Amino acid sequence: MFEMDHVAIPCPDIARGVAYYVENFGADVLYQDATWAFLKLGQGKLALVTPAQHPPHIALGVDVQTLEIAARKAGKTVDKHRDGTQGIYIDDPHGNVVELICYPDGETVYK
């Protein structure tokens, strides 16, 4: 099961980008530092990323087992992130970056 989780769009000035999405669209800030921010808009999530540090991408949420199977298939090692999520990045046929992301129960800063 693959579920749209978030999209990460380029934003060279995170503070300015966060202010824009909060003021204009009522975004809630889940996380923010100088290189990226994670915003909630209704039930969906939007990441703002400085492209030099984080590639713009779309992210599909998966469970641990699906992530492990996909990682083996893609020949990738699962990355464990500081926020507790785990994932891999793969490329679609047209150069778009697709992250498969897993939020292990009780292990992330978001739940």
The binding site for a copy of itself (CB under 8 A) comprises 1-7, 9-13, 16-17, 20-21, 25-27, 41-46, 58, 60-61, 92-94, 96
- CA-atom Rg of the chain in angstroms: 14
- Least Å distance between CB 77 and a copy of itself? 19
- Least Å distance between CB 33 and a copy of itself? 17
Distance CA 95, CA 100 (A): 15
User: Which of 82, 94 has the CB closer to a copy of itself?
Assistant: 94
Bridge partner residues of 79 (DSSP):
87
DSSP 77: P
Q: Which of helix, strand or coil describes residue 68?
A: helix
- Least Å distance between CB 4 and a copy of itself? 2
User: Which of 82, 102 has the CB closer to a copy of itself?
Assistant: 102
34, 14 in Cβ contact below 8 A? yes
User: Which of 8, 82 has the CB closer to a copy of itself?
Assistant: 8
Q: For residue 83, which of 108, 101, 48, 51 has the smallest C-alpha distance? A: 108
- Least Å distance between CB 47 and a copy of itself? 11
